[in-house]
Chains A and B, each alone.
Chain A
């Protein structure tokens, strides 16, 4: 497990309408963005994500093998095209990598998106996101004072998130 303290840069949570509901930095020295910029970033990403989902390329189905049950039934034969993995719904943008950072996007079943900015060398990002999702499910969704789709202001979530990321270091 790479436990570089600089592994995780920042976390953004976007609700299903594209609004920014949580933003936190875990690394000093990042360029400061204003709250407005964060809102714009969240909205833009939401749009980009929707576009990437609709432009997910389809591949042609092998024509001469209609008898194989799995592909034959999953995609309508009329179209002749199918997603690379027919059993999985289209997810859109999963990650974006540059030489300075890696942006990983995780979308929950209800459409909430977690954006995690990490060092490109950090491994096991999926596990990190899973854990953050877990903390979110526990300390945000089970909090009686949290109103759904609204900005997250849960002291226990902040505390546990910080403690866990620090614990990794």
Chain B
């Protein structure tokens, strides 16, 4: 049933591809093939015509990001019940970005010869999906941070407490999102890097690691906006981790 229809689609495709100056009736049939809701930009370039690797010329100013992020925080602040609610909303804004970045990160590292993920995987050309917690955390600490902020994160630690072996900490001494943010005194617990925590959560979840990530202020004399991202893996992840360890999966 489906075959004749596909056939027709492909026919019109090849006509359009071979010569742009094809006969009028053919063009007409091609137009009628397009779904009525599809609108193409005037330069005929859809997102599929764009390159995913052009980053040099596509850099954004930090100021525009700061204003955008400021508006995002303001937006998230509407009708919130408290600091936790606000952080949750910021987290939710970051989560889908994490999912997207994951695919983009791997795409960029496969298509460029110098693998950006080389620190996380020993094998050379095709980067591997992270299967173990440590690989995943290295991916976040290094390549992901570089993709987002142009540098690696400052520290990666495992919880020393035997009660919480599922807790890991990623530290950023000066999170870019917080550069211009000063929380009011009555909200001193708030850390807007909850947005970044959401990104991390999205990345972990996308890779199949159920996680809760939260951002915490840990200021020091030198780094007043130092932030620790607490990554807490769920029990199923820890169980799988044990199984994979026994199986010798790297």
Residues of chain A at the chain B interface (Cβ within 8 Å): 138-139, 142-146, 153-157, 159
Contacts and interface: CB of A to CB of B under 8 A. Distances in A.
Contact of B224 (A142, A143, A154, A159): A159
A144 B74 contact: yes
Nearest to B224: A159
Contacts of A138: 66, 180
B74 A142 contact: no
B69 A144 contact: yes
B70 A143 contact: yes
B181 A144 contact: yes
A139 B180 contact: yes
B47 interface: no
A142 B185 CA distance: 17
B9 interface: no
B149 interface: no
A155 B74 CA distance: 18
Interface of B: 63, 66-67, 69-74, 77, 179-185, 187, 192, 224-225
A124 to B, nearest CB: 25
A145 B183 contact: yes
27 contacts: A138-B66, A138-B180, A139-B180, A139-B182, A142-B70, A142-B181, A143-B70, A143-B180, A143-B181, A143-B182, A144-B69, A144-B70, A144-B71, A144-B74, A144-B77, A144-B192, A145-B73, A145-B181, A145-B182, A145-B187, A153-B182, A153-B184, A154-B182, A155-B182, A156-B180, A156-B224, A156-B225
Given A144-B181, A156-B180, 6 more contacts: A138-B66, A143-B181, A144-B70, A145-B73, A146-B182, A156-B181
Contacts of B187: 145
B194 to A, nearest CB: 13
B16 to A, nearest CB: 48
A145 B180 contact: no
A96 to B, nearest CB: 32
B41 to A, nearest CB: 31
Nearest to A139: B180
Nearest to B76: A144
Contacts of B181: 142-145, 156
Q: Which of B66, B179, B180 has the most CB of A within 10 A?
A: B180
A7 B95 CA distance: 49
A43 to B, nearest CB: 26
A154 B72 CA distance: 18
Contacts of A139: 180, 182
Contacts of B180: 138-139, 142-143, 156
Contacts of A157: 182
